[in-house]
């Protein structure tokens, strides 16, 4: 990790919170009408204005590291193709043929020199250019240069590939990330190893996402998984525009209270979560492992899809390392699917019951206040 993250300062702040039995707080509580979680028109507007316009980190650079590699996947109903051409640049396209719309690449990842449409064998190179029209002399005159794969705005920063899902939409990734880019770069995501990737169905995206932003529920909901070694209801938060960096403390942090700083281990007692608006969370749950989560709204307001990618520092070479990876993977799955999303589905089912007209976010949930304020701001635009 680079100097962008000042571990000593964070550890100092965390120790101060622990000593005072407090947490970083907002100025007051905040209420949000429950319709924000299920009302169809609002959902439609938020998906359009937030998820289809803003840059989303849809893949890790690691997934598509070598020239010639590609990833094809459907993201929120949009068939997306990412390809790294020989020039080393990653480009994003809509994965539909410009002739009559067949996908030019089946879902998955791999490496190839061109994409050959299975329907009538038009082919495209890795920059999206139409490079061959089968039976061209019989087809009639066409302007090949106007029939490249439809591009999507795409940028690569901090080991992540950011795209906009809407053809024609543009973004300036440096402006969008601002100082947060240094925080993300400090995670050195290019130099980890992917050992597992999976998709998890969840409740509505806000119900699910709320759980990624606060530590208030750690002790109650996760006593035997991610909350086991974490101090509940204590966090540090720093905002970078709409993005947030959260710090949780391991229970060992209490042992530093009253000890001279010269004896502190500055990296061993805290864990960081980098939360990029609107749906990316990178969590360093344990030192040798990290979890990257991307949470997408589902086809209806009450469902979401989470992509989990588990990273380890090094490619496992021993059975002990492989076992540690399996343990981490199982713990994360249990915490998210059987704890967070299990309660989330129940919350979702009760939303329209009239039991609540609004939800209240505590002073100790400043991250949720921040997030929902930014959702309101972007969805109004």
Question: Distance between CA atoms of 208 and 348, rounded to whole angstroms?
Answer: 9
Considering only 55, 128, 211, 232, the residue that binds Fe ion (CB under 5 A) is 211
Rank residues 17 and 95 by Cβ distance to ligand FES and give the closer one: 95
Q: How far apart are CA 114 and CA 186, in angstroms?
A: 34
* Nearest distance, CB of residue 99 and Fe ion, angstroms: 47
| Phi and psi angles of residue 370, each rounded to the nearest 5 degrees, phi first | -60, -45
Whichever of 40 and 101 has its CB closer to ligand FES, that residue is 101
> What gap in Å lies between CA 170 and CA 53, rounded to an integer?
8
The interface partner of residue 377, options being Fe ion, ligand FES, none and the CB cut-off 5 to 8 Å by kind, is none
Question: Nearer Cβ to Fe ion, position 128 or 211?
Answer: 211
Interaction between residue 102 and ligand FES (CB under 6 A): yes
Instruction: Indicate which of ligand FES, Fe ion, none lies near residue 19 (CB less than 5 to 8 Å, by partner kind).
Output: none
Q: Name the minimum Å distance from CB 336 to Fe ion.
A: 7
Q: Which stretch binds Fe ion (CB under 5 A): 59-67, 121-129, 211-219, 270-278?
A: 211-219
String of DSSP letters for 342-369: HHHHHHHHHGGGSS-SEEEE-TT-HHHH
* Rounded least distance, CB 100 to ligand FES, Å: 4
By the rule CB under 6 A, 117 interacts with ligand FES: yes
Q: Is 365 in the site for Fe ion (CB under 5 A)?
A: no
Does 115 help bind ligand FES (rule: CB under 6 A)? Answer: no
SS (H, E, C) 117-162: CCCCCCEEECCCCEEECCCHHHHCCCCHHHCCCCEECEEEECCEEE
Stretch of 112-120, 171-179, 190-198, 342-350 lying at the interface with ligand FES (CB under 6 A): 112-120
Cβ atoms of 274 and 184 within 8 Å: the answer is yes
Residue of 272, 336, 352, 274 lying closest to 304 (CA atoms): 336
Query: How far apart (Å, rounded) are the C-alpha atoms in residues 68 and 111?
Result: 5
Establish if 122 lies at the interface with ligand FES (CB under 6 A).
yes
User: Which of these segments, 37-45, 48-56, 185-193, 210-218, binds Fe ion (CB under 5 A)?
Assistant: 210-218
Q: Does 100 bind ligand FES (CB under 6 A)?
A: yes
In which order are the strands placed within the sheet that holds 108-111?
A: 108-111, 69-75, 78-84, 90-94, 151-152
Site string for Fe ion, 236-275 (x = CB under 5 A): ----------------------------------------
C-beta of residue 200 within 8 angstroms of C-beta of residue 345: no
119 contributes a contact to ligand FES by CB under 6 A:
yes
Residues 292-351 that bind Fe ion (CB under 5 A): 340
C-alpha 199, offset from chain centre: 12
Binding ligand FES (rule: CB under 6 A), the pick from 5, 50, 97, 207 is 97
Q: Binding of Fe ion at residue 227 (CB under 5 A)?
A: no
> Helix or strand or coil: residue 213?
coil
Which residues, other chains included, contact 155 with Cβ-Cβ below 8 Å and sequence gap of 6+?
55, 161, 162, 163, 171, 173
Footprint on this chain of Fe ion (rule: CB under 5 A): 211, 340
Q: In the complex, which residues of this chain contact ligand FES (CB under 6 A)?
A: 97, 99-102, 117, 119-122
């Amino acid at each position: 990790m680079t100097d962008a993250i000042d571990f000593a300062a964070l550890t100092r702040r965390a120790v101060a919170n622990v000593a005072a039995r407090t947490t970083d707080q907002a100025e007051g509580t905040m209420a949000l009408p429950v319709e924000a979680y299920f009302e169809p028109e609002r959902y439609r507007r938020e998906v359009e204005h937030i998820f289809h316009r803003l840059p989303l980190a849809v893949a890790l650079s690691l997934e598509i590291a070598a020239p010639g590699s590609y990833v094809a996947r459907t993201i929120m109903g949009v068939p997306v193709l990412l390809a790294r051409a020989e020039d080393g640049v990653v480009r994003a396209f809509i994965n539909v043929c410009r002739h009559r719309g067949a996908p030019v690449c089946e879902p998955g990842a791999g490496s190839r020199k061109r994409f050959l449409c299975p329907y009538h064998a038009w082919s495209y190179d890795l920059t999206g250019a139409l490079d061959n029209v089968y039976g061209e002399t019989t087809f009639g005159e066409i302007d090949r240069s106007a029939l490249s794969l439809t591009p999507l705005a795409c940028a690569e920063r901090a080991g992540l590939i950011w795209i906009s899902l809407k053809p024609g939409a543009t973004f300036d990734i440096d402006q969008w990330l601002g100082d947060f880019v240094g925080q993300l770069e400090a995670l050195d995501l290019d130099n980890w190893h992917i050992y597992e990737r999976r998709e998890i169905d969840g409740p509505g995206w806000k119900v699910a996402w709320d759980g990624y932003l606060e530590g208030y529920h750690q002790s109650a909901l996760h006593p035997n998984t991610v909350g086991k070694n974490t101090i509940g209801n204590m966090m540090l938060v720093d905002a970078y525009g709409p993005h947030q960096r959260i710090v949780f403390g391991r229970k060992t942090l209490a042992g530093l209270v009253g000890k001279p700083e010269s004896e502190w281990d500055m990296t061993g007692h805290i864990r960081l979560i980098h939360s990029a608006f609107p749906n990316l969370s990178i969590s360093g749950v344990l030192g040798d492992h990290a979890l990257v989560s991307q949470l997408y709204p589902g086809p209806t307001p009450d469902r979401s899809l989470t992509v989990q990618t588990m990273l380890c520092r090094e490619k496992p070479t021993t059975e002990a390392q492989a076992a540690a990876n399996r343990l981490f993977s199982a713990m994360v799955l249990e915490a998210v699917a059987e704890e967070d999303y299990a309660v989330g589905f129940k919350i979702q089912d009760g939303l329209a019951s009239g039991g609540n007209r609004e939800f209240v976010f505590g002073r100790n949930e400043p991250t949720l206040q921040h997030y929902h304020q930014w959702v309101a701001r972007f969805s109004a635009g």
